[in-house]
Amino acid sequence: MPVRWAIVGCGDITNKAVAPAITDHPDAQLVAFFSNSRERAEQMRADHGAERASSDLAETVGADDIDAVYVASPVHRHAAETIAAVRAGKHVIVEKPMALSVEAGERMIEAAAEAGVHLAVAYYRRFFPKSRNIRALLDDGAIGTPIVCEITICSRLELAPDHPKYWRLLPEQGGGGALMDVGSHRLDLACYWLGDPFEVCGFADIIDRADMQVPDTECLLARMESGAHVHCTASWAISARADDLIIRGTEGSLTARPYDNAPLTLIRGGDREEFDLPPAANWHSPLIDDFTRAVLDGREPEFTGRDGLQASRIMEGCYRSSETGKTVEV
């Protein structure tokens, strides 16, 4: 029997990536959509061939013919909707970042553990061949001891108040600026490669965008438990787009600029090697595949909710440090 899915939240990511990843999987079945807008849920049901649509969350996640739920709503809804689903006995993938706070993420993890179901966060870049290759190269000592990971993710975001994604600019709904939104993916990768974070210092400011309610620029420095440093700059105030990553070690470096689309370059001594490792056509497909297989095989997904919480620890540490002027243990 296939894993039967419901999707909570009917935004752009659901339409373009999540629903197709489920419907294309040979052992998955897309059964239901939930949205606060019944009309929107019905449209998604029709577009993707699901059996039903609903604006009743309890009805959707409580249905007997649902095994797993993908929570793809705005961040401020993640905790409540995830907890409702796991308490109904459903396995859950929740969109990133995991929740508005680390405390909320911990509650989600505890609820899933109590219910005996799987919980994962949709940090799908961990499944990129490039990300896997970086992990393998680091484990093999290709650049010696990793010393610092430098992350830069910048653009100039322009959203009108009536735009369906405007919630990203509302602190009570999105939780922060570019760091919480796109930066969270890169911080998650840093944790995948370098281990858990230990302490963080940082700044989160509105430097240029007086029209924003969230910081337009966030910069942080994290010390990982491994001893490596992570430096991250995330901004929605810079018109020249950037998505840069470099890991510098005692004997070499790994670089990808931009991370999503450029080859990975390994430099060691006088040697230079490039790896062209494109991701899957649908970036969500490997995530959905691993989670579906985990449900069918009775094993944990490769990356759990606990893994997904580490990036949130770093981001929350940055905001606390910016408010207090102190380095924060996370």
Strand partners, 114: none
Mean pLDDT of 37-65: 97
The pLDDT, as a whole number, for residue 329 is 97
The pLDDT, as a whole number, for residue 155 is 95
Inter-residue contact 2 to 27 (CB < 8 Å): yes
The pLDDT, as a whole number, for residue 171 is 82
Q: Of the candidates 261, 243, 240, 244, which has an alpha carbon nearest to the alpha carbon of residue 253?
A: 244
Q: Of the candidates 159, 180, 156, 179, which has an alpha carbon nearest to the alpha carbon of residue 238?
A: 156
What's the pLDDT band for 43 if we cut at 50, 70, 90?
A: very high
**Which range, 142-151, 155-164, 170-179, has the best average confidence (pLDDT)?**
142-151
Give the whole-angstrom CA distance, residue 159 versus residue 161. Answer: 6
Answer whether the bond into residue 197 is a cis peptide, omega within 30°: no
Give the whole-angstrom CA distance, residue 314 versus residue 102. Answer: 10
Quick one: tokens of 327? Answer: 């380095």
Question: Please, what is the average pLDDT of the chain?
Answer: 96
pLDDT tens for each residue of 61-113: 999 999 999 999 999 999 999 999 999 999 999 999 999 999 999 999 999 99
Give the whole-angstrom CA distance, residue 149 versus residue 220. Answer: 12
Res 164 pLDDT > 90? no
Count other Cβ atoms within 10 Å, centred on residue 172.
11
Q: What Å distances lie between residue 238 and 99, 100, 217, 243, CA to CA?
A: 26, 25, 9, 12
- Report the SS3 class of residue 112: helix
Spatial strand order of the sheet with 253-256 comes to: 271-275, 264-268, 253-256, 237-249, 146-156, 229-235, 217-224, 197-205, 328-329
Which residues does 271 contact at the CB level (< 8 Å), separation at least 6? Answer: none
DSSP string, 144-206: SSEEEEEEEEEEE----TTSTTGGGG-HHHH-SSHIIIIIHHHHHHHHHHH--EEEEEEEEE-
Q: Which domains does the chain have, with CATH numbers?
A: 3-122 (3.40.50.720), 125-279+311-329 (3.30.360.10)
What's the pLDDT band for 253 if we cut at 50, 70, 90?
A: very high
